Every structure is written in structure tokens, then in C-alpha cells.
Chains A and B, each alone.
Chain A
Amino acid sequence: MRNATNARIIWIAALVMAAYGGENDTFLLRNATVHPVSAPAMENASVLVVDGKIAEVGAKIAPRGKVKVIEGRGLHVYPGMIDSGSPIGLAEIASVRETVDTGEIGDFNPQLRALIAVNPSSEHIPVVRANGITAVLVTPGATGGGRGGAAGSLIAGQASLMHLDGWTWEEMEIRRGAALQMTWPVIQSARGRGDLETLFQALGARRTTFAEARRNQQQQVQKIQEFFDAARRYQTARAAGEAVDPDLRYEAMIPVLEGKEPLMITAAREREIREALDFAARERLRIVLAGVRRPGKTLEEIAKRNIPVILGTTFATPLEEDDPYDDPFTLPARLHKAGVKFAFASFGVQFARNLPYQAAQAVPFGLPYDEALKSVTLYPAQIWGIDPEYGSIEKGKYADLIVTDGDPLEIRTQVKMMFIKGVPVDLESKHTRLYKRYSARP
């Protein structure tokens, strides 16, 4: 029975592949269980896609004219998943500097746009999308494992929303300036690459005292303030029609200062979160908090001010040795309980395909399943402001769809088909190619 289903899927996939690249964004997917995410699941339902958009979702949709029919019996349809932070396309092999384009030199680089440096031929792209991820917020900042020029700047540049398919980065674009990526300074005696610092200490270098570390951090905060002040003077002068020398850095700040583009601030611990919240309030900025790990008492305020949060991996070990062993597992449930809207990000490339499991890991520790599913589909679309077109299976939205043999958050589930704007997407990758090649080695 299962074999028959598989055979049919392969046949359909073959049919679909043959037409790939053409005007192939109209079809009727029928007899499947449809999970719109924005509404309860519908069994034996169909999705009609016309010109890349969802035209109808329901129990009985009559095929119109010669529309292509895809049989979905025994399968499940979900919206494609969205990763709210990954340098995918900018970083290929973490340890090889030449293949890494994150982390530009300099503290303030709001003018940089992640999308324009995305390598559409990156081997990571097909690997990640094969697990049901159709869109990513590609981030310019240095991330764990990535070795860019700088250890980590304060404003890294503009993160862009993009699809995980396209011949060029232009074709992959959803929104070029989706958010400005910023890191709130941390009080730390070891700045930069941890390992090196430890080594220097081992070699007898003097340890930075807390007071010194605190002073360093306050200087960084001061720098941020000065940069925003300067950007605001530039904005005011421009608005007043004064003759100013154009400055691409300040130009890039204007949408943020006007609240049109969110500022995505990485802040893990209570102290940094508190400072970032105060800063945002003072500057009247629209912010998204990222990489929150130990929010402590700030949780209430985050909820009250409706500030969305992007969570990193739930799999991490606790930040402090004496934190409960399950602290990272329960964090999403605690945010949910406090009324905070959040989405998940892989914040990496290597494990970006495990995004659905990051969300699922929070379920046995208190997060309702539906919330976990929304945190990788509808919520990121809402947080990044693309929910009129993405994030759920609703009439009028783009058909970014995945067809699976079960719950996409469960490890054993296979993604059988994917559509981006209604166009079927190849699910083969370097990994499946090598698998086939070496399985066949005599």
C-alpha cells in the first residue's frame, strides 16, 4: 500500500519535474489532509493553486478545465516553513574564511544587504529546503562557527527574507531589507573568539576584571547611542531639505528610525535585554529581540510591549551550570505562557534543516503543539510582516507548500513535495546524490 503511494508520488514528481521552469504554477492538489495552520486541519481536502497563488481550499473543489491534478491521498499539506535567521548562502564551509561572507569589518554597517551576496548555488540551499523550509531570513552578522573578518560588529547589516530556490538571488528575494541586525554589547571578560581568549589566558595574559568588562560594555553602548544620534541628525536634516552629503550608512538607518524596518537585536540575558528594551523605548524603535536565552524578569515587559522574539536552538545546554537541566527546553513554553509571540531561527547553516525539531523539542516541555507549528510558519510571517502573502494556507496567499507523509515537526517524517509560489521544487541535494552514488558502489 505504502509502496503504491510512493510509486504514485514518484510518478507525479517526475511529471512535475519535466515541466519545471515553465508556467507550472497552476494545479489542484486533492484528497489530502490540509493543515492551513491558521485554521483547523481538514481531511480529504483540496488546494487549488492558480498562477502561484492559493485560489481555493476546501473539501470539494471541482477541477477547472485542464488543470493539472496532483493526488494527495495519505499525504499532508502544510505551509512551507520559515527560518527566522540563518546565514545560508553567505557561508559554505565554516572553517574556511574564503567561503564565509558574514561578519563584515567595522562596528556599524547598516548599509550592507545580506541578499546581494547570497550564492544561489550553495550546496546548503537544497539540503535545507528538502526538510520543508521554503524561506529564510538571511542574516549578515557573524554567527557561531562562521569566521568573517570581524569578531562581531554592533550593526551587522540588513537581513533579507528569501526563498530557498531561484536561479539568482534576485529571483529568491521576498524582501531585501526585512530587518536591521544588531547585537547588544555583552559584559564579558573574553571578547571575540572564546577559544583564543582562553588560550591567551592560559598563556598568562591578564584576565579582564568585571569592572573593566563593564566599562568596555558601556563604551560600546555609548557608541551605539552616538551612531543613532548622528543618524537622526542626518534624517532631520534630510527631512528639512538641507543640503547634506549623502551617507549610505545613515540612509540605511532611515527606515529603522521611521519604524518602517524592524531592528532585530540579539540579546541573550536579562541585563542585555533590559538595556535593549530601554534603548528601544527611548528611541521609539520597532524591535524584534533575537537569541533570547535567559529573559528573567524582562519577560513581562516584552509581552506588555508586544515585542516579538526570535528563539535560537532549544537543544542548547543551559547557560548557567545551576540552571534547571531543561531550561532551554522550557523557554518557548514560558514565553508562550507570558503571551510573547515568537518564532524559531537556526542561527546557523549546518543544522538549519533541523529547524522543525527545534520547535518540536519544546512540545514535551509544555509548548502546545499548534504553537510549535505556528512558530515556524505563521508567526515568522507575521513578525516579518509578510503574512498577507505567506505563512499559512489561505486563499490569496502564495502557494509555498510542503506535502509530507506526516507531522513535519517529527524527525521520521518525509517531505515528499514542495512548491514555492506554486512551482514544484526539486528535493534532491548533494546528500541524496552522494547517497545514490555510493549505495550503488559494487
Chain B
Amino acid sequence: MRRAILTGVFSAAALLAADVTVIQNATIHTVTKGTLKGSIVIRDGKIADVGEKVMTPAGARIVDATGKHVIPGIIDAHTHIALDSINESSVSVSSMVNVAEMLNPESISIYQALAGGVTACNSMHGSANAIGGQNVVFKMRWGADARGLVFDKAKPSIKMALGENPKRQGSPQGLQIPGLQSPQNLRYPGTRMGVEDVIRDAFTRARAYQREWKDYEARKARGEKLLPPRRDLELEPLVEVLEGKRLVHAHCYRADEILMLIRVFDDFNIRGVTFQHVLEGYKVAKEIAGRGHGASTFSDWWSYKVEAYDAIPYNAAIMHRKGVLVSLNSDDAGGAELMRRLNTEAAKVMKYGGLSADEALAMVTINPAKQLQIDRWVGSIETGKDADLVIYDKDPLSIYAKVEKVFIDGKQYFDRDEDMSRRPKLEAEKEGLRKKLLDQQKQAAPQNRRPS
């Protein structure tokens, strides 16, 4: 009782500085408002102040970042991490499924990504179908449950895919697995022409479905008594796309298929698509930019398949210069291999194409935030935004930099020193478990091996 009261008193005293952290004396790369030497005040999970001189409230937690660099948390616009299932590949249109149902909060990829300075990502359905499933945007709140990870303010989105991957299921020369695939169960489409048709057909059906509901609502409003149309879970997300309520992330490689999708979307008046991979985007940058679409690409991947043979590391720079909103992504699935070095992936657009440091950093922070329509809350260091911040020991665009601390919503989720100091204890615990297992095996083994 007495202790409870005391705690209460302390809490009241600490109220002034409740949940306040000040990162001091850092080189701050705001990304949107230049780079400065100064401090960041974090209050209640938000950035309360940024500047050369800030007011440090008494009792605030001080993080001395002298000689260090701070950037907004890295955002990966295209991953498949922490998903127990990625592709529903049995149908050409799998818009009814949602990978959010498959989110595994215990996936070690989350921690690895966090330790690489990533604070949020778009984890997506795979590319097995022309129209794929629904995606999930989440923050690397390591320790939270699946629901706690989800960045619920993010606009919903859907995956689409063009080219080799969606037509693979329709190819007799494709992945040949006895029992699973035979000429009898090839799945349409098997060509790029067919991919276009599947998409055009689906949105045509979605438009009819939308009209059906509109008619119903109108007649209901007039007082007519009638049954509502049957809900169609395949077409509902596509109607949301038509109505601008759901974003599209379209996996693509070749210039022809990119242009094809732009034209299909012109016909359905769909805007703000983010082309994913888009390795030949540089060939049709004008067309992509002309419709206000975005591009999320790799820094230097190429030649792993035919449609990636004309990929060049200058892709991001050309598209950016021609007015496309460009981000760089990892496409990581098994582990956070590339995700945790997106900072140096960004540095490659300086090498290949000569973009500036700010342009480079923007491609892994504010640009992906805009593409996911979460830039009101994250993607740059600005007053009022979520305190998703990364402290590096050196210039984050250098290969020699490493992540020291990561904050999400103002809470410290990663600290390299803490991680290192935990290791001996973890190792001892592991050793203990190993021993226990061996002992159990010994006990379980038959004592007398002689035949009876």
C-alpha cells in the first residue's frame, strides 16, 4: 500500500518529463528539411522538436549522440518477411486472401530488420498470380503480438504481378513437379497477353459489381424493399481499388508490360500505382511519371532471369530524374538479408547515377512512406511525426556505418550494447537446454541392451 502511494508520488513528479527522450548533439538527416547538427526531443512517442537548440525538459532521458548520425527509420516498401504463407497460387485472381492473417510476430527477421535500422515495412503477397492477395504494413515492434505490429493507419493495398511469375503456372515448360502439374491442370494465363486479359477482366467484373451495389443502394434509398447483392470477396478489394481506397503494388520487369498496365489502369481511371521491381522502368520512365505512378526497385540486381537481363543499377537514378517517385526495397522473404542494409543500397544510387545523399536517403525513408501513404506519420524527422529513429555511429550512407540504437514510436527497440551484453546469458541458457536434452536422452535410453 505504502509502496503504491510512493510510486504515485514519483509518477506525479516525473509527469513533467513523462516519456520524454532527448537525442543530443547528433548529425540529424531529416531527409525533408536538410541536415543539421542538433537535438531531437521525443515526447509521447512523437517527435516534439528538432533543431540546433531545443528545450530539454528536466528529467528527460538523455541520449548523447555526439559524433553520431540520426536518420528517420528505414521503410521497406516490398518484403515478404514474417509471413507463414506468401502465395495463394491456385487461382489467377487471389484478391480475397490477406497475408495479414499469416503474420508471425516471432519471426527473427523482424529483429534482424530492426537491427538494420528498418522500422516499418510492407510485407506482401507473392507474385504467383496476375492479381494477388492483400498486403500488410507493420512496424518492427519486436515483442508485440501480430495485431500490435500492424501499422493500422496505413492504407490497405493489393499485390499484382506481370510477366514470368504469373504466367509460370500456365507454362508446360514451367516448374515441373510430378503430381502437381500436368498439361491437364495448367492455369490460365500462360502469356503476357493472358496476364493483361486476367487483369482487364477482373476490373471489368469489379466495375459491374460496383454498379450492382450502387443500384441497390440507390433503390434502397428510394424506399424499395429488396435483397442486397451477394457479397463477392474476390471483387470487393478490386472495387476499393477503383474507388481509390486501396493501393496497388504491381510486380513487373519489362517495359512493355509496365506500359500495358499503365494503359489498362488508364481505362479504369486507376492512379497512384507503385510498380514493384520495375527493372526496365528506366525505359518507360516518362510514361510512369506521366500518370503519377511510383516505382520501388532494386539497387543492382540483374540477370537472375530473362526479364531481368536488361536491368541496370542506374534504373533508380534515371526514373528519379524523369520525375518518378522512387524507392529501394529488399524483397526479402526468408530472412532480413537485404533489408538490414538498405542504407548502403541507397548509397548505390550515388555511385550509379550520381544522385545526392538526400536523394539517396529519401529512397529508403520518405519515398517509400509516400508510396505506402504513411508519410503523414513516418519517413522523415519532422515535428509531429512518429519518433521512428535510427542512430548510426557514422554516416549511414557509408559501408562502415553500423546501427547503434533504433526507436519506434519513441520507444527504444534496439540497442547494440544491450544486445551484446545479453549474449553471454543467452549462450549459457542455450548450453543449459542442450545439456538438459542430452540428459533426457540418456535417461530415456534403455539401460540394459542385452536381448531378453
**Interface residue ranges, A against B (CB under 8 Å):** 92-96, 123-124, 145, 196, 199-200, 203, 315-318, 321-322, 324-326, 349-351, 353-354, 357, 360-361, 363-365, 409-414, 430-432, 434-435, 438-439, 441
Contacts and interface: CB of A to CB of B under 8 A. Distances in A.
Interface string B90-133: 00000000000000000011011001000000000000000000
Given A357-B344, A411-B397, 11 more contacts: A203-B180, A324-B419, A354-B300, A361-B341, A364-B393, A412-B397, A414-B351, A432-B314, A438-B282, A438-B285, A441-B285
Interface of B: 108-109, 111-112, 115, 177, 179-180, 282-283, 285-286, 300-306, 309-310, 312-314, 318, 321, 334-338, 341, 344, 347-348, 350-353, 393-394, 397-402, 419, 423, 426, 430
Contact of A350 (B285, B303, B310, B402): B303
Contacts of A414: 351
A357 B348 CA distance: 11
Given A94-B304, A360-B400, A431 B313 contact: yes
A438 B306 contact: no
A416 B254 CA distance: 31
Given A315-B337, A438-B283, A94 B302 contact: no
Contacts of A326: 115
* CB-CB nearest 6 A-B residue pairs: A317-B335, A435-B314, A95-B305, A411-B347, A360-B399, A364-B402
A435 B318 contact: yes
Contacts of B301: 350
A200 B175 CA distance: 13
B250 to A, nearest CB: 21
A411 B351 contact: yes
A172 to B, nearest CB: 20
Contacts, number: 115
A412 B303 contact: no
A13 to B, nearest CB: 18
A99 B112 CA distance: 35
Given A203-B180, A438-B282, A351 B351 contact: no
Residue of B306, B336, B400 contacting most chain A CB atoms (<10 Å): B400
Contact of B400 (A96, A200, A350, A364): A364
B399 A361 contact: yes
A95 B304 contact: yes
A350 B351 contact: no
A441 B399 CA distance: 33
A19 B353 CA distance: 28
Given A364-B401, A413-B351, A124 B303 contact: yes
Contacts of B286: 441
B344 A411 contact: yes
Contacts of A411: 344, 347-348, 350-351, 397-399
A410 B400 contact: yes
Contact of B300 (A95, A145, A324, A351): A351
Contacts of B180: 199, 203
Contacts of B344: 357, 411
17 contacts: A93-B309, A95-B304, A96-B305, A199-B180, A315-B338, A317-B337, A350-B302, A363-B399, A364-B402, A410-B400, A411-B350, A431-B312, A431-B352, A434-B314, A435-B353, A438-B282, A441-B283
Contacts of B347: 411-412
Contacts of B338: 315
A350 B399 contact: no
Contacts of A95: 304-306
Contact of B177 (A196, A363, A431, A439): A196
Contacts of B350: 411-412
Contact of A412 (B312, B337, B351, B402): B351
Contacts of A361: 341, 399
A360 B301 CA distance: 20
Contacts of B400: 360, 363-364, 410
